[in-house]
Amino acid sequence: MDKILRINMGAEGGPAVTEEPWGKYEGLGGRALTSAIVSGEVPPLCHPLGEDNKLIIAPGLLSGTAAAMSGRISVGCKSPLTGTIKESNSGGQPSQVLARLGYGAIVLEGKPKDDNLYKIFINKDGVTISSDNSLRMLGNYDLVDKMKEEYGDKICCISIGPAGEMKMAAASVAFTDMEMRPTRHAGRGGVGAVMGSKGVKVIVLDDTGMKMRPPKDPEKFREANKEFVSGLKKHPVTGEALPAYGTNVLTNVINEAGAYPTKNFMWGRFDNCSAISGETEAETETARGGSATHGCHRGCVIQCSGIYMNKDGHYLTKQPEYETVWAHGGNCGIDDLDAIAMLDRLDDDYGLDTIEMGATVAVAMEAGLAAFGDADAAINLVHEVGKGTPLGRILGNGAAVTGKVFGVERVPVVKGQAMPAYDPRGIQGIGVTYATSTMGADHTAGYAVATNILKVGGYVDPLKPEGQIELSRNLQIATAAVDSTGMCLFIAFAVLDQPETFQALIDMINAFYGLSMTADDVAELGKKVLKMERDFNTRAGFTAIHDRLPDYFMKESLPPHNVTFQVKDEELDQLYNW
Cis peptide before 59 (omega within 30 of 0): no
**pLDDT category of residue 574 using cuts at 50, 70 and 90:** very high
Given a cut of 90, whether residue 2 has pLDDT beyond it is no
CATH 3.60.9.10 intervals, the chain: 3-205
Is the CB of residue 346 less than 8 Å from the CB of residue 317? no
Distance CA 50, CA 46 (A): 7
CATH 1.10.569.10 intervals, the chain: 252-423
Largest CA distance in the chain: 63
pLDDT tens column, 520-540? 999 999 999 999 999 999 999
Q: Which residues contact 551 (CB under 8 A, 6 or more apart)?
A: none
* Cα-Cα-Cα-Cα dihedral sign, residues 457, 522, 490, 333: positive
Distance CA 154, CA 574 (A): 50
Q: Which of 260, 381, 433, 243 has its CA nearest to residue 319?
A: 243
Given a cut of 80, whether residue 383 has pLDDT beyond it is yes
pLDDT tens column, 561-573? 999 999 999 999 9
Q: Is 109 helix (H, G, I), strand (E, B) or coil?
A: strand
Q: What's the pLDDT at 363?
A: 98
Given a cut of 90, whether residue 299 has pLDDT beyond it is no
Q: Which of 496, 499, 396, 418 has its CA nearest to residue 170?
A: 396
Counting every residue written for the chain, the total comes to 578
Mean pLDDT of 9-15: 94
CA distances from 471 to 20, 151, 437, 549, 569 (A): 40, 48, 13, 18, 16
Q: What is the CATH number of domain 252-423?
A: 1.10.569.10
Query: What kind of fold does domain 215-245+424-578 have according to CATH?
Result: 1.10.599
Distance CA 548, CA 568 (A): 10
Amino acid identity at 243: P
Average pLDDT, the chain: 96
Q: Which residues contact 12 (CB under 8 A, 6 or more apart)?
A: 113
Dihedral, CA of residue 145, residue 151, residue 152 and residue 157, to nearest 10: -60
Q: Which residues contact 271 (CB under 8 A, 6 or more apart)?
A: none
Domain spanning 3-205, CATH class: alpha beta
Is the CB of residue 101 less than 8 Å from the CB of residue 210? yes
What percent of the chain has pLDDT above 70? Answer: 100
Mean pLDDT of 9-31: 94
Mean pLDDT of 178-199: 97
Given a cut of 90, whether residue 1 has pLDDT beyond it is no
Residue 365, CB half-sphere, CA atoms under 13 Å: how many? 30
Mean pLDDT of 387-407: 98
Q: What's the pLDDT at 14?
A: 92
Q: What is the CA radius of gyration of the chain?
A: 22
Residue 425 backbone class (left: φ over 0; alpha: ψ -120 to 50; beta: rest): alpha
Mean pLDDT of 352-380: 98
Given a cut of 70, whether residue 374 has pLDDT beyond it is yes
Q: What's the pLDDT at 204?
A: 98
Is the CB of residue 84 less than 8 Å from the CB of residue 508? no
Q: What's the pLDDT at 298?
A: 80
Name the helix (H) or strand (E) containing 253. helix 250-256
Q: What's the pLDDT at 295?
A: 86
Q: What's the pLDDT at 296?
A: 84
Mean pLDDT of 298-309: 90
Mean pLDDT of 412-417: 98
Distance CA 30, CA 37 (A): 11
* E strand segments, 407-550: 413-414, 417-418
Q: Which residues contact 248 (CB under 8 A, 6 or more apart)?
A: 276, 277, 278, 281, 319, 320, 321, 322, 325
CATH 1.10.599.10 intervals, the chain: 215-245+424-578
Mean pLDDT of 276-303: 92
pLDDT tens column, 444-474? 999 999 999 999 999 999 999 999 999 999 9
Distance CA 384, CA 346 (A): 11
